[in-house]
Amino acid sequence: MSEINTARQFWIQAPRHGEIVTASLPPRQPNEVQVRTLFSGISRGTESLVFGGQVPPSQYQSMRAPFQEGDFPGPVKYGYNSVGEVQTDRHTPANLAGQTVFCLYPHQDRYWIDPDALTPVPSDVPASRAVLAANMETAVNVVWDAQPAVGDYIVVVGAGVVGLLISWLCRQLPGAKVVAVDVNPTRKKVAAELGIQLITAVPADTEADLVIHASGQPEGLRDALVVAGHEATIVDVSWYGNQSVSLPLGEAFHSRRLTLKSSQVGRLNPKQTPRWNQARRMALAMELLRDEHLDALITGESLFEELPEVMARLSQDPGTTLCHRICY
């Protein structure tokens, strides 16, 4: 197969303005293979903040995606949910030729990449579902950070893709009672397909053993504090960009001796680092995607050519969207 040395790429040229441009690929480096993209997924929470130019300057470096080009607020090429097929030529290792793979790559129709950055997609995981891999990796990391125990009463505030995946993982813990909370009642159907109880307001009782906040909204974090029981831990997964967050720490926060901690997928829990690395964590996330019920999290699909308009719409009015898949 002859090499193709140009690619269509999605760039945020300025806040709230995206374009698809055609550009030359950089020269192939030793050991690199070319991946032709099949699907990518929009990580709606983070990508909406990036698209809207809401990354604080203090976080420009820490929020860089692994293969990002350009700088915030733009022009910048961003994203990290890419599923594709390794193209075959005389330099492609036999074990990779034709392999379906996942990569933390931006929205682009083909690219050169070192094989170490690729995660093979198991044969029993459809490529169309593998766009959830980065979200599943985040959910796994959150569960490691939260450390739920057998029999815990766990409340997850926010039932977006990550919140539902966290709930799905936690509910498999023996004896655990897991309740997801989201103000959007349309999430109930998706939650039910995953075997998760979902309610639209925090429960009246305040005895949760563990609360995980994933709504991305300050109001959700305040609700998380309300429902936490004595000596409970609240793990905040949300990233607020440049938005300020105020909390009612003058109420029961001290008397209940609550612990508030953050979780971010960029770092592994210290207890995992002696044996785990990011590649092993991503491989685990991919294995967990074998469950066909997870397809319920993909609520929309568009062509790559439509991505500028789709990003503009989702950043302004996401509606009932969870994961939105892009087809190439």
| Cα separations in angstroms, 244 against 147, 156, 216 | 28, 22, 12
Euclidean distance between CA atoms 248 and 235, whole angstroms: 16
Domains in the chain and their CATH numbers? 6-129+289-327 (3.90.180.10), 135-262 (3.40.50.720)
Average pLDDT of the chain is: 95
- Quick one: pLDDT at residue 26? 96
Euclidean distance between CA atoms 292 and 115, whole angstroms: 27
- Quick one: pLDDT at residue 45? 83
- Quick one: pLDDT at residue 54? 93
What proportion of the chain, given as a percentage, has pLDDT over 90? Answer: 88
Q: What is the pLDDT of residues 219-255, one digit of tens each?
A: 999 999 999 999 999 999 998 877 889 998 988 899 9
The residue type at 231: E
Tell me which DSSP letter residue 88 carries.
P
- Quick one: pLDDT at residue 110? 98
Burial of 58 (0-12, 13-18, 19+ CB in 10 A): exposed
Secondary structure class of 95 (helix, strand, coil):
coil
| Cα separations in angstroms, 115 against 78, 82, 92, 138 | 20, 14, 10, 22
Q: What is the pTM of this model?
A: 0.93
CB atoms within 10 A of CB 133: 26
Taking the CA atoms of 319, 323, 326 and 327 in sequence, report the sign of the dihedral they define. negative
Does residue 268 have a pLDDT over 60? yes
CB atoms within 10 A of CB 207: 12
Does residue 317 have a pLDDT over 60? yes
272-279 mean pLDDT: 95
- Quick one: pLDDT at residue 19? 98
Does residue 11 have a pLDDT over 70? yes
Tally the residues of the chain.
Answer: 328
